Structure 1
Amino acid sequence: MPAPPRTIPSSPALRDARWLRSSYSTGANNCVETARPTTGALAGLLAVRDSKAPDGPALLFSPGSWTEFLNGVR
């Protein structure tokens, strides 16, 4: 099974994803949004996109990679 791509256009591939905005986001739309696709080849990955560009690309992370990223930021 080939590995999924690292980025994917948000609009077609993640059309039905439920995007959540960070609780730290202000009304100025200056934060990130995340989604967890539940179907298809992207199921189980975490998608992250810029809230200012919802039709732009999304970065895809495995659960372990996302946890490592968060631990590094902390």
Structure 2
Amino acid sequence: MAETITAQRLAGRDKPELDLSTADWQSGGQGAGDVQIAFVEGFIAMRNAATPGSPLIFNPAEWRAFVLNARNGAFDLT
């Protein structure tokens, strides 16, 4: 079954329909709860490896903001 993302709204911007059926998902670790990312058609898709479901789709500017904030500790648990 092909995994297709339909157009969705994120922060007021339309995301294109992306076919993720052949995406090359990359993971940073070996655990079942790993976060995976794939670069598809100029966008970045992110999902939970244990429950892939519908991934989040980022454009390059959104992805850069996410990564920079993660590096700066914006999402650290206290």
Give the TM interval when normalised to the shorter protein. Answer: 0.5 to 0.7
Shift of 1:53: 1.3
Report how far residue 13 of structure 1 moved. Answer: 3.1
* Aligned mate of 1:59, from 53, 56, 59: 56
For the aligned residues, what is the CA RMSD? 2.2
Could you state the TM-score of these two structures normalised by the residue count of structure 1? 0.67
Higher normalized contact order (CA 8 Å, seq sep 6+, divided by chain length)? 1
Which residue of structure 1 aligns with residue 20 of structure 2? Answer: 14
Structure 1 position 19, deviation (Å): 0.6
What is the aligned-residue identity percentage? 29
Q: Say whether 1:47 aligns with 2:50.
A: no
When the two structures are superposed, what TM-score results if normalisation uses the length of structure 2?
Answer: 0.64
What residue is the counterpart of 2:66 in the other structure? Answer: 69
Aligned length: 59
What 5-or-longer segments of structure 2 have no aligned partner? 1-12, 72-78
Q: What are the within-5 Å matches in structure 2 for residues 16-31 of structure 1? A: 16-22=22-28, 25-26=29-30, 28-31=31-34
Match of 2:15 in 1: 4
Which structure shows the higher strand fraction?
Answer: 2
